[in-house]
């Protein structure tokens, strides 16, 4: 395995990123999920140090000053999210490849820092109609947050051509197969 490789995955909300990443991690022992830092509150069932490193805003700002982040952003108003250098190093030290799950802007920022060893992947549904159906079926959104996510998705989709690989999540088994293949080839070379 090459040294200090990095996988960055982005998708509009509802595209199936969580579903596909879980399957990928289960079948690819060379890859480990990179835990981001953030300042939002933990949701029910989320664990500090497993889902995110949860910080108070002043702690997060101190980390920014200490240059502890590869990238950080205010993804939602008032809420900071960032990839810690120490987290990537923790995974590299185990001889594994970190998988970073971040928004479009964060993905493009990280790629600028690791142009050589970085695989960027964008996951999308066959259409915005399908995305809407999946979000409705998931049952996690209000009418308002659903519209917000669809609008954001339309914007995020314009960045898809900037990514190394686009995975269309139509049939789940096919998308899983395609994602696993792309990652396995990157891990091998």
Binding site for ligand ADP (CB under 6 A): 11, 13-19, 134, 137-138, 169, 172, 175
Q: Three-state SS for 135?
A: helix
Q: Tell the smallest beta-carbon distance from residue 17 to ligand ADP (Å).
A: 3
Q: Tell the smallest beta-carbon distance from residue 106 to ligand 5GP (Å).
A: 2
- The CA distance from 174 to 169, in Å, is 8
Give the full edge-to-edge strand order of the sheet including 69-76: 53-54, 37-38, 79-84, 69-76
Check: CB of residue 29 under 8 Å from CB of residue 121. Answer: no
Q: Contacting ligand 5GP (CB under 6 A), which of 81, 122, 163, 186?
A: 81
Per-residue tokens: 161: 């051509």
Binding of residue 98 to ligand 5GP (CB under 6 A): no
Compute the half-sphere exposure of residue 61: CA atoms within 13 Å on the CB side of its CA. 5
Which of ligand 5GP, ligand ADP, none does 18 bind, CB closer than 5 to 8 A by kind? Answer: ligand ADP
Q: Tell the smallest beta-carbon distance from residue 78 to ligand ADP (Å).
A: 21
Site residues (vs ligand 5GP, CB under 6 A) = 36, 40, 71, 73, 75, 81-83, 101-103, 106
């Amino acid at each position: 395995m090459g040294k200090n490789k990095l996988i960055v995955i982005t998708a509009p909300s509802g595209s199936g990123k969580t579903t596909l990443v879980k399957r990928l991690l289960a079948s690819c022992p060379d890859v480990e999920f990179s835990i981001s830092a953030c300042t939002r509150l933990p949701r029910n069932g989320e664990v500090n140090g497993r889902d995110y490193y949860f910080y108070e805003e002043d702690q997060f700002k101190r980390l920014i000053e200490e240059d502890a982040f590869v990238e950080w952003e205010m993804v939602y108003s008032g809420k900071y999210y960032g990839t810690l250098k120490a987290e990537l190093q923790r995974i590299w030290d185990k001889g594994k490849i970190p998988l970073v799950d971040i928004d479009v802007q964060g993905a493009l920022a990280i790629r600028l820092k690791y142009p050589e060893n970085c695989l960027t992947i964008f996951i999308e549904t066959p259409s915005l109609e399908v995305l809407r159906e999946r979000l409705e079926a998931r049952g996690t959104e209000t009418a308002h947050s659903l519209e917000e996510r669809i609008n954001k998705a339309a914007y995020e989709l314009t960045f898809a051509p900037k990514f190394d690989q686009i995975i269309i999540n139509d049939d789940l088994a096919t998308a899983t197969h395609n994602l696993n293949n792309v990652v396995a080839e990157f891990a091998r070379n």
